[in-house]
Amino acid sequence: MKHKLAVNIPIEFCAVEMFNPKTQRTYMHQLPIMFPDKFAEAIFAVSEPLFAKLFLGDVDAQEYWDHVATRCSWFRNHPANTLDPTSRAKLIPLSLYGDEVQSCRNTEGGVVSVLGWSSDFGHGKPPLSRYFCICCVCEHYCTPNTHKQILTHVASRISAMCSPNSLHNWTLNGYNFTYSSTQGDLKYVSEKYGLHNYRKNDFCSRCLCKKSDPNPGMTLGNFRLDSSHLATRLDHDAFFELMGVTSSEFNPLFSIPGARLERVLHDVTHSQLLGTGKALNGSVLTSKCGKKCIWRLEEWIIPHCDGRGVAYCVC
């Protein structure tokens, strides 16, 4: 990208709770955050073609949203579905993405947690032209409240950014953002959003399936079409009713209009190193290969199966 460091993006500071290992006390830290609305404003100020290239890419947005409106159940009650259908040609799907990065300071290793965002139309671009940093924080200094407080600040700004009544330099030219999804590997989704805790026996936030259960039909390994766990599917409202809390109390993420449990998407291939993901995805691939559903991959996958017949993807 030719513009590189020429973009003047304001960095704001928001109070979040942190832990000081020297004093063994918590304190309120002013964390630098680069909010998506200010980032998008700065990009549009550089040039509209650059804005369109980064956030719309080569996708026919009108065709995409018309397809979503026709085919996708999650869009029926989505705020964007109330917009004029002719405005979809410039409607940008905004997704949050989080991950952890192993880092070193001198000789000490540590983990830095990064929260970013992207347009769903950014696929195929280099990582730094697709994912845009919101903030990063060292896990060593985090408390159980830190990430929820960060998400409270971010969710508030994204809600305003995606509002049909928002006023920005890009809205004057007919562009709008709307929340699409929240993404991350299974570890990040579990630890930061409190969903799909693969360490527990009842690991799934979308149904009542378990790793171990007296009823084999309720277990992870049962892929039969008549398995018992299929009848326990939970939608957004049913899950939070079961939890006994409102969705925004559970996690500030769900205060964003359109943010629902169904749109928290973990990266399946990214989760291969986790036992649950490896067993689940490998078993599905093996089953599909056995039924010739993906015969083109069969010759490559089968040699990588272990003695139990579970295929391990190399990714």
Amino acid 200: pLDDT: 92
Q: For residues 118 and 39, what is the distance between their CA atoms, to the nearest angstrom?
A: 11
Amino acid 303: pLDDT: 45
Which one-letter amino acid corresponds to residue 46?
V
Asked whether the beta carbons of 110 and 138 are under 8 A apart, the reply is yes
Q: For residues 17 and 41, what is the distance between their CA atoms, to the nearest angstrom?
A: 29
Q: Is the pLDDT of residue 11 over 80?
A: yes
Q: Which residues contact 258 (CB under 8 A, 6 or more apart)?
A: 78, 79, 80, 162, 178, 179, 180
Q: What is the tens place of the pLDDT at every residue in 274-291?
A: 555 666 666 677 766 666
Q: Which residues contact 35 (CB under 8 A, 6 or more apart)?
A: 12, 134, 154, 157
Q: Is the pTM of this model over 0.95?
A: no
Residues 59-70: what's their mean pLDDT? 95
Q: Looking at per-residue confidence, does 108 or 2 come out higher?
A: 108
Q: Which two tokens stand for residue 302?
A: 């089968």
Amino acid 304: pLDDT: 44
